[in-house]
Amino acid sequence: MDDPSKIAYKIRDSLYLNITNRCTNTCDFCVRSKTQFVKGHNLMLEVEPTVEDIIKAVGDPKRYKEIVFCGYGEPTLRLDAIKAIASELKKKGARIRVVTNGHGDLINKKTIAPELKGLVDSFSVSLNTDTESVYNKACRPEFGMPSYAAVKEFIKTCVKFGMDVEVTCLDLPGVDTAKCEEIARSLGAKFRPRHLGVVG
């Protein structure tokens, strides 16, 4: 428990950036409520790291296949930080992915994809379920009812702006994975099923 919290942590060939512990969902299945460790890394931040701290924690991004903005939290809550860091890392040849709950437009009260074009190569968006009702029950979004439709819209917009988008869904009770895949494809995205409790 006296492990210092990690800003940057490596999983396989990728470097993950833990830029916030805040989130606009309160998912039943969120690992944050069970442990502060992911793959042995303490991800519970005492304070949110600065842009400079994060860039320093990355070092040379070319040592990794990709740099992934992630959590323990929702990275688009720090849109300006993502833009500043991605811009620096791109100059050093990085490939950038953002793992998100898809609330970025709701959080920032604007369409964020155009601002991230050229900075972010790909998104992994947690749609999680094939229905709004199961989503609202399992993820308890801060933005309420409009959230599920907004996540789908976010996916569509990112695809439209040329980003590579992967939609993930979970094998939760009441979730039809085949329907999730159908939704992902209809939005122009790729699909990756995820298993409950498996991170990274």
CA distances from 90 to 61, 100, 138 (A): 9, 20, 36
Q: How far is the CB of 90 from ligand SF4 (least distance, A)?
A: 25
Q: How far is the CB of 34 from ligand SF4 (least distance, A)?
A: 10
Binder of ligand SF4 out of 17, 19, 23, 67 (CB under 6 A):
23
Token match 């993950």: residue? Answer: 16
Distance CA 47, CA 162 (A): 34
Element (H, E) at 100: strand 96-100
Give me the 131-170 binding string for ligand SF4, x by CB under 6 A, dash otherwise. Answer: --------x-------------------------------
29 versus 63: smaller Cβ distance to ligand SF4: 29
> Which amino acid is residue 175, in one-letter code?
V
Instruction: Enumerate the H helices of 41-189 as residue ranges.
Output: 51-58, 79-91, 104-108, 113-116, 132-139, 147-160, 177-186
Q: What angle do CA 73, 75, 78 make, to 5 degrees?
A: 120
Give me the 93-132 binding string for ligand SF4, x by CB under 6 A, dash otherwise. Answer: --------x------------------------x------
55 versus 68: smaller Cβ distance to ligand SF4: 68
Binding site for ligand SF4 (CB under 6 A): 23, 25-27, 30, 32, 71, 73-74, 101, 126, 139
